[in-house]
Chain A
Amino acid sequence: MTNLATNFAGLKLKNPVTVGSGTYGFGSEYKRFYNPNILGAITSKGMTLNEKEGNPPGRSIETPSGMLNCVGLQNPGVEFFAKEHLPKLKEDGCTVFANVAGKDVDEYVEIVRFLDSTEVDAVEVNLSCPNVAEGGIAFGTDPKVVEEVTRKTVAVTSKPIIIKLTPNVADIVSIAQAAQNGGAHGISLINTLLGMSIDTKKRRPVLSNTFGGLSGPAIKPVALRMVYQVYPHIDIPIIGMGGIVNSQDALEFIMAGAQMVAVGTGNFVNPLACQEIIEGLEMYLEENDIEDINQLVGIAHK
């Protein structure tokens, strides 16, 4: 009998697989393929305090082994989520990580304080969205600000706080350490890489926001490197993400030091990706006589 169950920031989860924020809506969209409660946790679409319309059309384009997007945090607002989506997710037996973003430190604090009184299991604080004019990436590039936002959000909730970091920095280790110093219970590595594409017929940028976030297998080596790089320098668990489309990818992230893995663009490539990854991890343990998936976390460092 093998064990896929994992403990993440004090939460007991049935397996280490979750989804990348913004790639899974609020859980109901993939119900036609499988019950989302098979996941270790569902990570919600990124939410702001108030409803946000997001960017105009011209929000995505496929790139070699990846895709660019500039959705711009379109969401119905955190209150609507708590009222409309969260009860359904809890009814289905899902563990829910709520991903949130604010335009300034106060707004981050206000959203997290609001969610403290809800049934969400953890809050993933997005300090890294590349597609909004305010907040987002600017917060994730300065260790002092990362530490401040982390400290202030941790202070207003009893829920675990996971800080989602941007890869668009020179020294990811110092940023991860800043999150830990601020009291984060875990970190997510990585959000999308900033990129762009130009339509040569129109001679204009393809994306309405000019720049967008690059995701998919194209960024996997970068994401894996950052997880591997950060793992020895922090004591809090890591959710590894960036280009995971199958169980082989997931295993690489776990071996690099990820306690959990998140599937993002992989859901678009194959709507059954998460289910197949869970099955694939189980099969790997059985075939290699490994009792517990947790034995593999960070094993590539030894």
Chain B
Amino acid sequence: MLTGKVEKNQFLADDIFEMEIKYSNLSAKPGQFINVVCDGKLLPRPISVCQSKKESFVLVYKVVGEGTKWLSKRIKGSEIRFSPPLGRGFNLDIKNKKIAILGGGMGIAPILSVAQALDKADVFLGYNNDEFLHDKFPNKIYKSFASEGETVIDRFVNSKVGKSYDYVIACGPEGMLKALQQVCKEKNIPGQISIEQHMACGVGACLVCNCQTKHGYKLVCSDGPVFPIEEVVFND
């Protein structure tokens, strides 16, 4: 396991925190995650890398249980133990396409580095209430707020420009991804989505984080977490 020191750990919005960890050259590809050791919890927590810089990297996470609660209380200088970057990230060799990037809730964190790499793509951000990370995107941004009755998919579908995209990249809750898959199927738009599942090993050994695909079960940790949008089979 690797060790880094907390440089910054601040509240962003809706139980969501941003932690910057000093560590040189983590070199996470957009969409990859790391397994973070949380004291008092048995299994490490898989958290996607929001930004990977030369001397540090950034995690944006939501407090959902004891592990992430512990993480939220780390102060500057605290040691954090973590795995090297795991999983397959997004394939960004798609620069000649008209791309829409969609992030919903915590799904906004993994797509930031994608959007920074594809700065000509348009970005649709779906928040529950308060916005976060929006000021880090170099792209044209369209925001929606569930508290105001509009989902990120509504915004994408209803947007005038929404009709002209020929590729999507997305991360967010299952309902959002399922709805997007339907839209893409109707419009025949290909793309990539990053999905979530309870994990244990994070390296493809334990087989607990399976998801249903058109080609049988695949592992979210090692075959994913990024999959072609048309490949994932969501439950009804």
Contact = CB atoms under 8 A, between A and B. Distances in A.
A62 B1 contact: no
Contacts of B159: none
Q: How large is the interface on B (under 10, 10 to 19, 20 to 34, 35 or more residues)?
A: 20 to 34
Interface in A36-85: 45, 53-54, 56-57, 59-62, 65-67, 69, 71, 74
A257 to B, nearest CB: 26
Contacts of A272: 1
Contacts of B206: 22-23, 25, 60, 69, 71, 268
Interface in B177-236: 197-212, 216-217, 222, 235
Contacts of B207: 22, 25, 45, 54, 59, 71, 74
Contacts of A67: 42-43, 200
Contacts of B235: 57
B83 interface: yes
Contacts of B222: 29
**Most-contacted residue by chain A among B204, B207, B208 (CB, 10 A):** B208
Given A54-B217, A60-B208, A61-B198, A66 B203 contact: no
A280 interface: no
A299 interface: no
Interface string B38-62: 0001111000000000000000000
A168 interface: no
Given A25-B205, A32-B84, A53 B217 contact: yes
A25 B223 CA distance: 14
Interface string A259-286: 0000001011111100000000000000
B204 A62 contact: no
Nearest to A218: B42
Interface residues of A, number: 31
Contacts of A29: 201, 203-205, 222
B200 A268 contact: yes
B205 A56 contact: no
Interface string A112-135: 000000000000000000000000
A8 interface: no
Interface in A204-257: 216-217
Given A265-B200, A271-B83, A71 B208 contact: yes
A139 interface: no
Contact of B43 (A25, A54, A57, A269): A269
Contacts of B198: 59-62
A54 B83 CA distance: 28
A271 B1 contact: yes
**Most-contacted residue by chain B among A22, A56, A65, A271 (CB, 10 A):** A271
A59 B209 contact: yes
A24 interface: yes
A297 B85 CA distance: 40
A73 to B, nearest CB: 9
A268 B197 CA distance: 15
Contact of A30 (B1, B84, B205, B209): B205
Given A53-B217, A74-B210, A271-B1, A66 B205 contact: no
B91 to A, nearest CB: 21
Nearest to A206: B198
A-B interface, 4 closest residue pairs, ranked by CB to CB distance from nearest: A60-B208, A25-B205, A29-B205, A268-B200
28 contacts: A22-B207, A24-B205, A25-B204, A25-B207, A29-B203, A29-B204, A32-B203, A54-B207, A54-B210, A56-B212, A57-B197, A57-B211, A57-B217, A60-B198, A62-B43, A62-B198, A65-B42, A71-B207, A74-B207, A216-B42, A265-B42, A265-B200, A267-B201, A268-B44, A268-B200, A268-B202, A270-B1, A271-B201
Given A25-B203, A29-B203, 14 more contacts: A22-B206, A23-B201, A25-B205, A25-B206, A29-B222, A32-B203, A53-B217, A59-B207, A60-B200, A67-B42, A74-B210, A268-B44, A268-B206, A269-B43
Interface of B: 1, 41-44, 83-84, 197-212, 216-217, 222, 235
Interface of A: 22-25, 29-30, 32, 45, 53-54, 56-57, 59-62, 65-67, 69, 71, 74, 216-217, 265, 267-272
